[in-house]
Amino acid sequence: TREIQLASRPSGRPVPENFRLAETAVPALKEGQVLVRNLFISVDPYMRGRMNDAKSYSAPFALDEALDGGAVGEVIASRSDQRKVGDVVVHQLGWREHAVVDAERTTPADTTLAPASAFLGALGMTGLTAYAGLLKVAEFKPGDAVFVSGAAGAVGSLAGQIAKAMGASKVIGSAGTPEKVARLLELGFDAAFNYRDAPVLDQLKAAAGSNGIDVYFDNVGGDQLEAALSVLNVAGRVAMCGAIAQYNSTEPPAAPRNLAVAIGKQLTLRGFLVGGQRQHAAEFAGRMAGWLADGTVRYDETIVDGLENAPQAFMDMLDGGNTGKMLVRL
Ligand code: NDP
């Protein structure tokens, strides 16, 4: 079987030489374990941080070993009463074709609700991030005007649509290409702009109008956070979900320069990790299944075929090559 290993740690933007495709033997199954043939693996922005040798909320990847991350696959052998051959499960041993996993570290995916890939996106960690970030962290309430950055990506596109579904007065999204901006309008965003076209602050002010914004769902950081801080209303809330503008940086960010406006406007800025929001998983899963079934929420996927192309898919995702969730199909 094959796996992708970390061959060297990237400095700045990752390059193909940081990764290695390796042949390896499938380990024997121990009692309580299952053998999973991965169908889709997830490539995610947080993995960039784990490629550095730095202490963070998740441990660094080890050199010359397989990378890991979210995956969904089919059980093809089982030594556990909990999972049987044919079950489709989500687990954390991605970046490889076959995974030997403790059955208790797998979650069943109900593929009568949606295709297996959705359990890495709208119905999985990505969807819970959007849902909990908006409703629990930013404490969105009906009537709020919301700005989402990284809005055509996996988390952002869901966050914006959930805000619409829950009664936002306006939802504004930013993204990096004209095609993505057009897609946001199709998905029901009230306004969208390309952050590369003109200063974010000018574009956000124009989109928000005199009502301003009440909630900012931040996937990007940097100048988009700075602009949002300027446009947020008194008592506005920011869900600090990600700061992808700085994941490849070797220098400290130049923005935001205006953090002190948070004092006068009595803003709340709250960072969060989806891992700390699991208590909302059941509520989220029920609601999201309903929204997908009745078409209230739609999701895009950008699918790359072949494990050997996973490093390129990861690098392309960091560069904006995806609309919706970036996935590798094996
Ligand atoms: P996306 O699907 O949004 O993919 C990443 C996108 O980021 C790209 O498509 C690109 O879109 C955009 N991007 C890249 N560089 C920049 C830049 N310099 N400025 C602005 N946009 C940029 O990924 P996810 O939906 O998986 O993740 C979105 C964010 O949410 C990330 O910051 C991630 O770290 C965070 N996250 C946080 C979690 C948590 O627990 N807190 C859990 C999951 C995700 P474009 O073409 O528009 O530039």
Percentage of the chain modeled with pLDDT above 70: 100
Segment 199-209 shows an average pLDDT of 98
Task: Note whether residue 283 is domain-resident.
Answer: no
**Residue 55's pLDDT band (cuts 50, 70, 90):** confident
Looking from the CA of residue 242, the nearest atom of ligand 1 is: 32
Task: Note whether residue 325 is domain-resident.
Answer: yes
Question: What b-and-e string marks burial along 125-158, b requiring 16 or more CB atoms within 10 Å of the CB?
Answer: bbbbbbbbbbbbbbebeeebbbbbbbbbbbbbbb
Looking from the CA of residue 156, the nearest atom of ligand 1 is: 25
Q: Is the dihedral of CA 202, 326, 70, 310 positive or negative?
A: negative
**What is the average pLDDT value for the chain, to the nearest integer?**
98
pLDDT at 77 over 90: yes
pLDDT at 58 over 90: no
Pocket of ligand 1 (CB under 6 A): 44-46, 126, 129, 150, 152-156, 175-177, 180, 219-220, 241-242, 244-245, 272-274, 317-318, 320, 322, 326
Same domain, residue pair 140 and 239:
yes
Task: Note whether residue 284 is domain-resident.
Answer: no
**Residue 174's pLDDT band (cuts 50, 70, 90):** very high
Task: Note whether residue 187 is domain-resident.
Answer: yes
pLDDT at 89 over 90: yes
Task: Note whether residue 295 is domain-resident.
Answer: no
Looking from the CA of residue 272, the nearest atom of ligand 1 is: 41
CB 161 within 8 A of CB 183: no
CB 131 within 8 A of CB 122: no
Pocket test residue of 47, 155, 246 for ligand 1, highest count of atoms within 8 A of CB: 155
Task: Note whether residue 214 is domain-resident.
Answer: yes
Kindly report, residue by residue over 95-125, the tens digit of the pLDDT: 999 999 999 999 999 999 999 999 999 999 9
Segment 309-318 shows an average pLDDT of 98
Q: Which residue has better confidence, 73 or 59? A: 73
Give every CB contact of residue 284 below 8 A, 6+ residues apart in sequence.
127, 128, 131, 132
- CATH number for the domain including 88? 3.90.180.10
Nearest alpha-carbon partner for 211 in 185, 232, 230 = 232
Same domain, residue pair 23 and 46:
yes
ipTM score for this prediction: 0.99
Task: Note whether residue 156 is domain-resident.
Answer: yes
Same domain, residue pair 71 and 213:
no
Question: What are the backbone dihedrals phi and psi of residue 234, each rounded to the nearest 5 degrees, phi first?
Answer: -55, 135
Pocket test residue of 57, 219, 226, 272 for ligand 1, highest count of atoms within 8 A of CB: 219
Q: Could you give the residue ranges of the DSSP H alpha helices within 18-124? A: 46-50
Tell me, in angstroms, the distance from the centre of ligand 1 to residue 129's CA: 12
Pocket test residue of 189, 197, 244 for ligand 1, highest count of atoms within 8 A of CB: 244
Tell me, in angstroms, the distance from the centre of ligand 1 to residue 324's CA: 10
**Residue 230's pLDDT band (cuts 50, 70, 90):** very high
Same domain, residue pair 61 and 85:
yes
End-to-end CA distance of the chain: 12
Helix (H), strand (E) at residue 127: helix 125-132
Domain encompassing residue 172: 125-275
**Residue 135's pLDDT band (cuts 50, 70, 90):** very high
pLDDT at 83 over 90: yes
Residue 173's pLDDT is what?
A: 99
Residue 233's pLDDT is what?
A: 98
Number of folded domains that form the chain: 2
Same domain, residue pair 26 and 136:
no
Kindly report, residue by residue over 249-281, the tens digit of the pLDDT: 999 999 999 999 999 999 999 999 999 999 999
Which residue's CA is the closest to the ligand 1 atom numbered 8?
Answer: 320
